[in-house]
Structure 1
């Protein structure tokens, strides 16, 4: 298995510098492939405008690589929608997409619904909380899909420093990746062991693949899509691209605990579908009388492949 992973790394791991913009533009024109970029957003007014403006300036106006730039707002209470729209994105409210099906909280829910309001042959997802954003994040993940017809799914890889009050801990970000996701993948899906950032929020795929995959509604969406893509199209159709450094807002320990539980549950479902009960996670916070328990349901719901949704089928047929 190690030899297979090493072969994959030599064939399917690249740097963003391997595909300059001129090459991507020529490949896009030759193939006629259209590209949609989706930013799932919840209360990201501080960062979403800069990300949208960079993509629009570099990849819509300077080089026409991106055909559609959509911010899918999952119920922001701040100025996220206003800022994103002013920067040049089309803003769509989560609850306005597929209204017959009430939305549930979660990032995966937003990504799943985004397939109904975009039309690109390639769909790229970019988190809306990135700081010091570069268009390389987009060109990196869409590049292999424009230049190699055998590639179906591409993840970004990067250094992920943890910014603290007293400085930056190099390489200390991605704590759930190292403590939960990487051990799970190495133990149960060792063919995916070569992915540097399996939980990273920046990745792109062909619509023809995404519409065939179920989407966990919550934090488990990245692991779920990666594992299901492996089983659907095989390891050689998956790739990763080094885009440099990713800086973003970090969550506290309890939020990471809930994320870890959802990711573990997503893996568990894929290992033993239909034999599990709905789990909960109890955490503790210090209150006036000592430590108090707080119990949360772990995200377990999944949306079906979009190709099975009547509204999506009708829209594609039209």
Structure 2
């Protein structure tokens, strides 16, 4: 019990109320840093417009905290792009970014490419499926990066209700990610939502990180940041409650396999076979196997990409 408490105390943790918006704005003016908000999106027409609207209203029109909102569409077949643009975001299709390199499917791919189409000194990632969205998600996780010079990455932490039951969301976190972190990277055991999609970081850190192309991106980023900048440069902010679309059990299984693989690669790089995951679906005469490749590809640190280097010089 004492060891668990010590781990928690070592993780820099704040609440939303610790930094009023006027204090965050004062720090932004004093430091001259710019802030980009990125929403990776795939078929999120029901929610993306409202998220963009709230951010623009609260953090661009009322106070100039956010300098740009970019929605990176990874191939939506609904009206995601149209609704994001109508709400005031700049919409960029994933395949338009770095077209010489064929895009891999996955969220991490979109986040990695977003560095090429944003300009902020601080980049804030927000999932596009959030409901009852509050701009405190953005100001809360950006705040420490503007007010604390030694902080490089901040994750949001929150309650995740599932079907009306408080605290029952985050099943892959509890069953896969948290055990992995406690066993292999105990310094990170104090992070409440290690897989959460709401986090912000300094561009100077993000451009040095490899990005797993799929579901493993958040765990990979957290582990790699620990090794690159140390635990004291990482933090988390309690931003309340996160409501979003929950995936079914088989999708969670694929997510879990990708996250496990991301951890495995960091424990034993270069000595692993290409994995797959077989799941079973009920069909008319029994169960049919469905085999999926597990995300293994990773994109290199963005500073190694010639187009990004040329963009910085220009």
TM-score, normalization by structure 2? 0.98
Alignment of 1:138-149 (within 5 A): 138-149=138-149
Identify which of 2, 8, 11 aligns with 2:10: 8
Report the CA distance between 1:2 and its aligned residue: 4.7
Report the CA distance between 1:4 and its aligned residue: 5.0
Report the CA distance between 1:5 and its aligned residue: 2.0
Q: Are 1:292 and 2:294 counterparts? A: no
Structure 2 match to 1:214: 210
Output one character per residue of 1:228-250: Cα deviation in whole Å (capped at 9) or x when no partner: 00000000000000000000000
Q: Are 1:200 and 2:199 counterparts? A: no
Structure 2 match to 1:267: 263
Report the CA distance between 1:7 and its aligned residue: 3.4
Structure 1 match to 2:306: 310
CA separation in 2, counterparts of 1:269 and 1:75?
28
1:162 aligns to what SS in structure 2?
coil
Output one character per residue of 1:103-139: Cα deviation in whole Å (capped at 9) or x when no partner: 0110000000000000100000000000000000001
1:169 aligns to what SS in structure 2?
coil
Identify which of 240, 249, 252 aligns with 1:244: 240
Report the CA distance between 1:6 and its aligned residue: 3.7
- Maintained 8 Å contact 1:140/1:243: yes
Output one character per residue of 1:129-185: Cα deviation in whole Å (capped at 9) or x when no partner: 00000000001110000000000000000000002xxxx121110000000000000
Structure 1 match to 2:279: 283
2:239 aligns to what SS in structure 1?
strand
Structure 2 match to 1:31: 31
Q: Are 1:113 and 2:144 counterparts? A: no
Output one character per residue of 1:62-118: Cα deviation in whole Å (capped at 9) or x when no partner: 010000100000000000000000000000000000000000110000000000000
CA RMSD across the alignment: 0.8
Q: Are 1:257 and 2:253 counterparts? A: yes
CA separation in 1, counterparts of 2:6 and 2:240?
25
Alignment of 1:60-99 (within 5 A): 60-99=60-99
CA separation in 1, counterparts of 2:281 and 2:8?
44
CA separation in 2, counterparts of 1:273 and 1:114?
26
Give structure 1 stretches of 5+ with no counterpart: none
2:75 aligns to what SS in structure 1?
coil
Structure 2 match to 1:301: 297
CA separation in 1, counterparts of 2:85 and 2:70?
9
Alignment of 1:47-66 (within 5 A): 47-66=47-66
TM-score, normalization by structure 1? 0.97
Alignment of 1:215-234 (within 5 A): 215-234=211-230
Q: Are 1:126 and 2:126 counterparts? A: yes
- Maintained 8 Å contact 1:162/1:173: yes
Runs of 4+ in 1 over 3 A off after TM superposition: 1-4
Alignment of 1:160-179 (within 5 A): 160-163=160-163, 168-179=164-175
